[in-house]
Amino acid sequence: MLYPNIEFERIKNRLTRKALAEKLGVSVRTYSRWLEQGAIPAGALVKLAKITAQSIDYLLKGTP
């Protein structure tokens, strides 16, 4: 997984992959592919940052 902080924040916010994917307007498969392949669109990153109340920089880097 390329972005462990995204999954950490998803779990911390008590969201299932399905629930987060729905909030982002994508399928669970698309969400999972983003985490595995790293091609997350900029608009989705902005939404992720708002949903998790974290910076895009934090979501894309480091470990939780």
Task: Quick: pLDDT tens for 24-34.
Answer: 999 999 999 99
- Domain with 32, as residue range(s), is 4-60
Residue pair 38/3 in contact by the 8 Å Cβ criterion:
yes
Model confidence at 64, in pLDDT bands (50, 70, 90)?
Answer: low
Domain of residue 17, CATH code: 1.10.260.40
3-state secondary structure of 1: coil
Q: How far apart are CA 49 and CA 41, in angstroms?
A: 13
pLDDT one-digit tens code per residue, 8-56:
999 999 999 999 999 999 999 999 999 998 889 999 999 999 999 999 9
Distance from C-alpha of 28 to C-alpha of 19, rounded to nearest angstrom: 9
Give how many domains the chain has, as a whole number.
1
pTM: 0.87
